[in-house]
Structure 1
Amino acid sequence: METALIAVIGTLLGVAATHWFQSRAAERTAVLARAEQLRQERISTYSAFAGAVVDYRHSQNDRWFRAVREPGSEEAEESRHASYRQRTAARQALFRVQLVCDEPKTRQLAEDAFEVTNCMHDATGEAERAKRSQEAKDALARFIAAAAPGVR
C-alpha cells in the first residue's frame, strides 16, 4: 500500500512540475512572439514614415519651384494641392510612429522631421530652399538613427 501511495504522490508531483514548466515555456514563447510582432510593426511603421516624409519633401520642393517659376499657374496650384496630400500622408505616418514608439526622444525626432519638412515651401530664395531641404533630410536621418537600435 505504501508503495502505491508513493507512486501516486510521485506521479502527481511529476504532473504538477510538468504543468508548471510547460506553462512557463508557453508564457516565454508568448512574450517573445509579442516582442517580435511589435518589432515588425515598428519596422513597417518607421519605414512608412520615412518614405512619406521623403515624398513630402519632394512635393514641397516641387511646390516651391513651381510657385517661383509660374506663380498662380495651374501647375503651381496642382503642386500646392499635391503637397497637401503628401502632408496628410506624412502626418498619418507620424501618428502611427507616435502609437508604436516607446522612446520619447525618437517620437520627438519624428515630429521634428515632419515639422522641418512642413516649413520648406516658405523659403524666400533658392539658397534658403536648398538649406531647408537639407535640414529636412538631416532631421529624417536623425530619426532613423534613433529608431534603428529599437528594431534590431
Structure 2
Amino acid sequence: MSGIIAAAIAVLGTLLGAVVAHRYQEKSAARATARAERERSHQRLLDACADFAALAEEYRRAQYDRWTSRQAPPGSETALAARAESYRLYVEVRSSLFRLRLVATAPQARRLAEHAAEIQVKTREIFFASDRDDMLARGEVAEQACEAFVLRAREVLAAGD
C-alpha cells in the first residue's frame, strides 16, 4: 500500500513540476515577445524621427532655393526646377510626417509627431517671406524647431517610448 501511495505522490509531483515548468516557459516567451515588440517599436520610431529630420532639413534648403529663384524669370529653368524640388520635398516631408504619426503610439511620441507637423508648416512659410532678411529669419525659426525636435526625440527614445 505504501508503494502505491509513494507512486501516486511521485506522479503528482511530476505533473506539478511539468505544469510549473510549462507556466514558466509561457511567461518567459511572453516577456521575450513583449521585449522584441518594444525594440521593434523603438527602432521604428527612431527611423521615423531620423527620416523626418533629414527630410525637413532638405526641404528647408529647397525653400531657400525656391525663394531665391523668384529673382529669376518666372518661366525659367531655374525657377521651375526650384519649384519642382520644393514640391517634391514637401510631399516627402508630409509622407514622413504621416509615417511618424503612425508609429508614435505613446503620448510623448504623439507630441513629438505634432511638433514635427509644426516644423513642416514653419518650413513651408519660408517661401512666403517678403525679403531676404525675412526669409533668413523664417529659416532660422524652422532650423531651431528642427534642432529642438531632434533633442526631444532623443529624450523620448532614451525614455523608451
Q: TM-score range by the shorter chain?
A: over 0.9
Corresponding residue of 1:140 = 146
TM value normalised by structure 2: 0.90
Which of 104, 107, 118 is the matching residue for 1:112? 118
Corresponding residue of 2:55 = 52
Which residue identity does 2:21 align to in structure 1? T
Which of 147, 151, 155 is the matching residue for 1:149? 155
Please tell me whether the aligned partners of residues 109 and 142 of structure 1 are also in contact (alpha carbons under 8 angstroms).
Answer: no
Q: Give a deviation string over 1:20-62, Cα, whole Å, max 9, x none.
A: 1111000000000000001111111111101111110010001
CA distance in 2, matches of 1:141, 1:71: 34
Which residue identity does 2:73 align to in structure 1? P
Q: What is the correspondence of 1:1-152 to structure 2 with a 5 Å cutoff? A: 1-68=4-71, 70-72=72-74, 73-101=76-104, 102=106, 103=108, 104-152=110-158
CA distance in 2, matches of 1:100, 1:143: 16
Unaligned residue ranges in structure 2 (runs of 5+): none
Q: Secondary structure at the match of 1:71?
A: coil
| CA apart distance, 1:148 | 1.4
| CA apart distance, 1:80 | 0.8
Aligned length, in residue pairs: 151
Q: Give a deviation string over 1:95-143, Cα, whole Å, max 9, x none.
A: 0111111333212211111110011111111110110111111111122
Unaligned residue ranges in structure 1 (runs of 5+): none
TM value normalised by structure 1: 0.95
CA distance in 2, matches of 1:16, 1:67: 76
